[in-house]
Amino acid sequence: AQTVTQSQPEMSVQEAETVTLSCTYDTSENNYYLFWYKQPPSRQMILVIRQEAYKQQNATENRFSVNFQKAAKSFSLKISDSQLGDTAMYFCASSGYALNFGKGTSLLVTP
């Protein structure tokens, strides 16, 4: 079975600072994809960043980047220059039969 673990239920960061959200996963697939989704209070899940497992280079999308450690099965999300609008639930997910999600990290960005 595929599992995704997010060990930080809640995190807080000040505006303009950098924060890292942790995620570990377990999969038996040889080729797979990893994702970070953001869920603001509007409930809509928004894709933040996607990483292909066979690519060693870490994915980057503007202020969002990942640290992908394939051997350790670790996939953390770094948010630089945090903004108030980054306040949301963040879910890590792995591909497979269907996307498998972790339980999420609630991120609060404070002024």
For the chain, the residue count is 111
Among 35, 68, 75, 90, binds another protein (CB under 8 A): 35
Q: Does 62 bind another protein (CB under 8 A)?
A: no
DSSP string, 14-77: ETT--EEE--EEE---SS-EEEEEEE-TT---EEEEEEETT--SPPEETTEEEEEETTTTEEEE
List the interface residues with another protein, window 1-30 (CB under 8 A).
Answer: 4
Q: How far is the CB of 107 from another protein (least distance, A)?
A: 15
What residues line the site for another protein (CB under 8 A)? 4, 33, 35, 37, 42-47, 50, 91, 95-104
